[in-house]
Amino acid sequence: MTSVPASLIANVARGVLQDCVLAAQELPDPPTDAWRRRWIAVIALLRAVGNVLQNTDRANGDSALRRAIDDGWKIVETTRPPIFWEFIKRERDGVLKAYEFTASQSVTLALRPSPSPIIVRGGGGPRSGSVMQHGPRVQAIYTATMASGAFKGEKPKDVVQRAITWWTEQLDWVDAEAVRIRAGVP
């Protein structure tokens, strides 16, 4: 396979997107204490794809790549895809500018009947007896959902995957458009 010069494709933005893919894979399922910190990383990376595309790949690209990137942003501005405006941008603005999240975690404590007796040992030394107790057992059920916005009720990891797919499609379009422009195809 022939290597394509970085000035001809959205190369740096693709590197950011790859880091985002890896960070998204690290989002715990079910959510844990580390979930929020990893969520912040994923959201920052999702928005960074566009910033790097505009500020780095465009600045270092040839005229065809610059035009393709500009045309791509015009399309995003006019079509206003919800995955970008209502998720990537909105969540990034909320998280990084106000530390507010549309994605939320919750824990539900479910009481389940104990399938067998629970043995509770006394703490008074070797002569203290054991007591058998029958009672409920508590099970923690952790969930994460989008609490508000256009994706309310959806699983955050599913929305992230849609955003990753959207960015992949956008970068593929930019690269193909740059090739078309270079070839002089109307």
For the stretch 75-96, pLDDT in tens is 999 999 999 999 999 999 999 9
pLDDT at 52 over 90: yes
Domain assignment present for residue 174? The answer is yes
More confident residue, 32 or 145: 145
More confident residue, 44 or 131: 44
CB 137 within 8 A of CB 112: yes
Q: How many structural domains is the chain composed of?
A: 1
Domain assignment present for residue 11? The answer is yes
pLDDT for 133 equals 53
The Cα–Cα gap between 180 and 186 comes to: 8
pLDDT for 106 equals 83
Domain assignment present for residue 129? The answer is no
Provide the CB-side half-sphere exposure for 58 (13 A, CA): 16
Mean pLDDT confidence for 26-36: 84
Containing structural domain, residue 159? 6-104+150-183
Domain assignment present for residue 64? The answer is yes
pTM of structure: 0.81
Domain assignment present for residue 22? The answer is yes
The Cα–Cα gap between 11 and 6 comes to: 6
Domain assignment present for residue 164? The answer is yes
Token reading at 59: 């600045």
CB 114 within 8 A of CB 135: yes
- Tens-digit pLDDT profile for residues 128-163: 444 455 556 777 788 889 999 999 999 999 999 999
DSSP letter at 153 equals T
- Tens-digit pLDDT profile for residues 97-130: 999 999 988 888 877 766 655 555 444 444 444 4
Site of tokens 């989008």: 146
Domain assignment present for residue 143? The answer is no
For the chain, the average pLDDT equals 87
CB 10 within 8 A of CB 66: no
pLDDT for 104 equals 86
